[in-house]
Structures are given as structure tokens and as C-alpha cells.
Amino acid sequence: MKPILAWACVAALAPALAAPAAAETLRLAGNFPVAHSSSVAMERFADRLAELTDGDLTVETFPAMQLGGAKENVDQVRSGVIFGTWIGSAYLSRTVPELEAVSLPFAYPDRETAFRVIDGPAGDVLNEKLAERGFVSLGWMELGSRNVTNSVRPIESVEDFEGLKIRLQPNETHLATFRAIGANPVSMGISEVYSALQQGVLDGQENPYSIIASRNFNEVQGHLSDSGHFFDYILLVANKRKFDRLSDEAQAALRTAAAEAVAWQRDTAADEDEASRQALIDAGMTFTPLSDETRAALRSRSQPVIGDLKERIGADLIDLVLKEAAAQ
């Protein structure tokens, strides 16, 4: 090749060689309503990531079960069909059973305790377990304290749970706890719950106030409690193979944007929780707070569940969670 021709070829290729990598769009799915704080947080996450990467890495979010329910979203992330999901931790517990260690009944007196546990050594262990199963944890948001509603009677004593058909998430510790307190728990996807309550297939369900309100369960339930039997987290997870293929800079930007979004959601969730409780009362639900005596009796009845869980997933992690929860 003549020198001038060779130089011309190199000059023609130079812009292509110098061009940055093509922009990439990551897809995230969730089953929370569009207005829920976690879904809003994911929009903030997307905006911040685009800003940090000058638009080279963007996020497209699909809240409100646009890409299927929680189980489908977990499967989609595991297979790599989508990059990630934000999801109640219970829906990952079938794949990572160790997550049940932070679902212990009546373990956290308040949200501050719950986040001290998950932000400490116990959370580090769980993030490692998630990685072993092909997930990268990008943060733990608040789903909140779970409270019982029903259409039969106010909950004032342990005996009031007897025989109630109550929907729960697919978490064996959750289900075992409600069996221990005398209820009849039913595992069911959230999309089916309203009609099951309406038709009398279920007597009740349990969720944080924000979910009870956003799902309009007050339309088919009359009684509301503050049982607070579990504190629940929302996990933001990504497919580990896809995450590991990103550059170090892109991974750092993802973690920074996620951390900021998670911090915002946690701050927002407390206000959302209180506002939702009041909205449910204003909508006509009868609110019956549990007495300290009833709460103590429920805690006592549910203690064997913790022993059974130690046998299933090992005592070390559970003892660590209980130790962190009891720390001052």
C-alpha cells in the first residue's frame, strides 16, 4: 500500500477508534406501584446514573408488574433477561434461604434497629450469599413493618388470630410464624390478593401500611392493626454476570447512584408509612393497636420458629442478627 493511501485509511478509521463505547441501557423491573417510594427512588437512580456517566449508562424502569410479577422478575434477573429488580426480600428467599434470617418475628423494635442490622455484619454475610447465587446487591430499601388487616374482627389478643385465613409472602419463616400464632396462612402473589379478599377466599392479609393503601385493600377489609410482626426490606439486585462485565468506572457509578437512591427512599419511607396509616383510617378502617401484653404473647408463641430456622439455615447468622438487633 502506498504511504499516502495508508495514511488516508488510518485517518478515516481514527474517529471510529477514538469513539467512546456505545451507550448501554439497563432494564430494571419491579412489582411496586408507580407512586411507591421505591419506584420513585428507582427513577432517581436512573437520572443520577445517566448524570454520572454522561449518558453512557442509562436505566429503563418497569414498575407495577409491567414485566410480570415478583417471581417472574427474579427469574428474569437470574437468567439475564433483565439487568435487575427491586423486590421484597421474601421473593428472593426461595433462592437465597439465608435471607430469612432478617425476617425473624418481632425482632426489631423500630426501623432504626432494622437498618443497623442490615447495614452491619449480617448484611455483609447476606450480600455474599446473594453473590454466590448470581446476584449483586446494590442496596436495601425499606418495605416496612408488616401489619395485619382482616374482614372478620379487630385483633386485640392472640386468640383473635385463631383460624383466620391470612395471605402472606412466600417466605417459610413468615408462614411458620402465622401457623404458630394460630392463623391459617396462605402464600399468594400480590396481584391475586384483592380479588381473593373481595370474594372471601381470604379473611385478611398483612403488609406495610403503604402497600395496604396503594393496593386499596381498605375497600375489602375493615379492620387494621399495628402488629408489626416482621420488618421487611426491598432489595435492589442485579445479575452478577452482567454487572461484572461492566467497567470499573461503570460499576462505581452504579453503586453511587444506587446508594443515593436508597438513602432517599429510606428517609421518605417513614413519612410514607405514617401518611398511609392515617389515610386508611380516614378511609373508614377500624384501627386497633395491640397492647404490650398481646405483643409479648405473640412473641412468645413465635419463638419456636426461630429454633426451626436455625436448623434449616444454621445458627450463626441468626445469632448474629439477634445480637445486632439487641445492641444499643
Give CA–CA dist 328/318, Å, rounded.
18
Annotated domain spans of the chain: 23-326
> Residue 299, exposed/middle/buried by CB under 10 A (0-12, 13-18, 19+)?
middle
Report pLDDT for 259. Answer: 98
CA–CA dist 217, 221 (Å, integer): 6
Average pLDDT along the chain, 328 residues, taken 10 residues at a time: 41 39 90 96 98 98 97 97 97 96 96 98 98 98 98 98 97 97 97 97 98 97 98 98 98 98 97 97 98 97 97 97 94
User: DSSP secondary structure string, 57-75?
Assistant: EEEEEE-TTTT--HHHHHH
Closest CA to 205 of 223, 232, 182: 223
CA distances from 38 to 61, 81, 224, 243 (A): 11, 22, 23, 21
| 236 φ, ψ (degrees, to nearest 5) | -100, 110
The whole-angstrom distance between residue 106's C-alpha and the CA centroid of its chain comes to: 18
Tally the C-alpha atoms within 13 A of residue 134's C-alpha that lie toward its C-beta: 14
pLDDT at 15: 41
Q: How many CA atoms lie within 13 A of 5 on its CB side?
A: 2
What are the residues whose beta carbons fall under 8 Å from the beta carbon of 282, sequence distance 6 or more? none
Residue 112: Cβ-neighbour burial (10 angstroms; 0-12, 13-18, 19+)? exposed
pTM of the model: 0.91
pLDDT of residue 21: 55
Going by C-alpha positions, the residue among 173, 279, 270 that lies closest to residue 230 is 173
Class of domain 23-326: alpha beta
Q: Which of 102, 82, 106, 107 is nearest to 28 (CA)?
A: 82
Q: Quick one: pLDDT at residue 3?
A: 40
- Which has the closest alpha carbon to 140: 236, 229, 218? 236
Contact predicate 258/250, CB 8 Å: no
Sign of CA dihedral 61, 62, 68, 69: positive
Task: Please state the φ and ψ torsions of residue 23, each to the nearest 5 degrees.
Answer: -60, 145
Q: What is the pLDDT of residue 131?
A: 98
Residue-level pLDDT at 328: 74
